[in-house]
């Protein structure tokens, strides 16, 4: 399943710090999305703890969706921006299973991909009656389901702005301009600014997802190439050459 995310930041002591993550996905042929926003009251008490909780809440939401055992999660500039936030957040989220987090970095210290793998008990939430209905025994409660999240950089595949990327593939880009007030944490005290900010953030991830899905469809139809199988524009070109000319 292909998804998309966008990380929004605020300036804390002149350092850009995550304050919201939007996530878009497709289910039943419909695009859905949500935004996880930092808790401002917690932020005022302990910014670092509030940021950690922001990522924990976000990752928990993805888990609860149970979209697929394998997710391809695109970010437009994972390499030079989002990856620097996602990687430490995943390590923290994985805890003692930190070895299940695997970032791949190029020679310029830019993220190529980040993968996270985990497993869960398959029938942990079923009652005894439901277990009987499904002809399952208590031994089956130990059965595990395995999941993987694969974070990919759409900018590495198509190194242009999100608006231009969307336009090329017939999709709508940003609906509004970025408001500089959103860079100041105090905007979180203003309900109207927060509502505008959430809509802006949602549109970024929705636009990216629609564009990626359309690009994938076009490349499959015209070149018999799945863009989720490659990570950069040069490797995409090579894949097309091998499929079309060899």
- Taking only the tens place, the pLDDT of each residue in 11-60 is 988 899 999 999 999 988 899 999 999 999 999 999 999 999 999 999 99
Structure tokens at 156: 């590495």
pLDDT score at 138 = 67
Return phi, psi of residue 20, to 5°: -160, 150
pLDDT score at 246 = 64
pLDDT digits (tens, 9 = 90+) for 177-198: 889 999 999 999 999 999 999 9
Burial 162-176 (b: 16+ CB within 10 A, else e): beebbeebebebeee
Contact 133, 206 (CB under 8 A): no
State yes or no: pLDDT of 146 exceeds 90: no
Give the pLDDT band of residue 150 (cuts 50, 70, 90).
Answer: very high
Q: How far apart are CA 82 and CA 8, in angstroms?
A: 9
Q: Specify the pTM.
A: 0.89
**Which one has a higher pLDDT value, 245 or 6?**
6
State yes or no: pLDDT of 171 exceeds 80: yes
Contact 55, 131 (CB under 8 A): no
pLDDT score at 119 = 87
CA dihedral 154→157→159→165, nearest 10 degrees, is: -60
pLDDT score at 66 = 84
Sign of CA dihedral 42, 46, 50, 51: positive
pLDDT score at 134 = 65
pLDDT digits (tens, 9 = 90+) for 100-127: 999 999 999 999 999 999 988 766 666 7
pLDDT score at 145 = 80
State yes or no: pLDDT of 87 exceeds 90: yes
């Amino acid at each position: 399943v292909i998804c998309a995310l966008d990380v929004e930041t605020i300036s804390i002591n002149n350092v850009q710090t995550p304050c919201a993550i939007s996530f878009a996905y497709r289910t039943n042929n419909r695009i859905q999305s949500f935004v996880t926003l930092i808790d401002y009251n917690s932020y005022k008490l302990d910014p670092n703890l509030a940021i950690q909780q922001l990522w924990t809440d976000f990752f928990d939401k993805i888990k609860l969706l149970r979209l697929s055992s394998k997710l391809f999660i695109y970010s437009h500039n994972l390499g030079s921006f989002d990856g620097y936030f996602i990687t430490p957040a995943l390590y923290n989220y994985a805890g003692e299973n930190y070895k299940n987090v695997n970032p791949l970095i190029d020679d310029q210290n830019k993220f190529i991909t980040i993968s996270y793998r985990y497993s869960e008990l398959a029938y942990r939430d079923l009652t005894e009656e439901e277990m009987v209905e499904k002809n399952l025994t208590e031994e089956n409660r130990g059965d595990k389901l395995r999941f993987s999240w694969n974070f990919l950089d759409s900018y590495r595949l198509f190194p242009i702005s999100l608006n231009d990327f969307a336009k090329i593939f017939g999709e709508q880009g940003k609906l509004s301009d970025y408001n500089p007030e959103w860079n100041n944490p105090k905007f979180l005290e203003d309900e109207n600014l927060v509502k505008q900010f959430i809509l802006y953030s949602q549109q970024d991830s929705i636009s990216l997802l629609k564009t990626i899905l359309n690009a994938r469809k076009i490349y499959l139809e015209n070149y018999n190439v799945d863009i989720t199988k490659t990570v950069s524009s040069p490797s995409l070109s090579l894949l097309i050459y091998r499929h079309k000319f060899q």
